[in-house]
Amino acid sequence: MLTPDVSWYWYVDEQRNCLSIALSETLHFATPYQVKQLIDIPRRPCPITLEQMAFFHELHQAILSVNVSYSDAEILQMLLNAMAAMFFHKHVAQKNWLYHEAEEPVQGDVFGLISTDHGQTTCLIFAVEGGSAKAITLDSLHLTDDKSIDTFSLIRVSTHRLSPVSTQVSLRQLRRA
């Protein structure tokens, strides 16, 4: 799997109007985050920082520490989106009322499940601050009859709204449920 190095850089893809990262001269990754969602918009190519590299490696190790059945490419996609959300996305408010309370809340987990009356999805949790978790959704999720959130949406939610994901169950199986 690719690992960050000093040649990686962030930039705004003008055609897609989103934050992107160049991993090499020929390999570029477009995040789902539109310019209007960003706080630190790179006006010119912005090299990846040591703090961002450390975040990438720590989250990667956390993901590898659980028994998941994602490919290297899927894990890389999660890591790049989490890194973009952590360092460039505007603050999002908690919206606890949208999600069911968990019977058994997460405690130090890297993956969690959120559920609504209309379904559930797995989230990659990448920051916890005093009972509030920042996470990205790994699939789209219907919140109401007419409102949904997309795959890789950044959410902020109380940890008591996130249920643990059994490491004995494939996350891919949960996403299809």
Residue 166 has pLDDT above 80, yes or no: no
Q: Give me the numbers of helices (H) and strands (E) for the chain, helices first please.
A: 3, 11
Q: Where are the domains of the chain?
A: 9-88, 96-176
Which among 121, 141, 125, 134 is positioned nearest to 90, based on CA atoms? 134
Residues contacting residue 129 through CB under 8 Å, at least 6 positions apart: none
pTM for the model: 0.89
The two three-digit tokens of residue 73, written as one number = 């490419």
Q: Which sign, positive or negative, has the C-alpha torsion 61, 65, 66, 67?
A: positive
pLDDT digits (tens, 9 = 90+) for 100-156: 999 888 888 899 999 999 999 999 999 998 889 999 999 999 998 899 999 999 999
Percent of residues, the chain, with pLDDT higher than 70: 93
The phi and psi torsions of 155 (rounded to 5 degrees) equal -125, 155
The predicted pLDDT at position 3 comes to 92
Residue 75 has pLDDT above 70, yes or no: yes
The predicted pLDDT at position 168 comes to 35
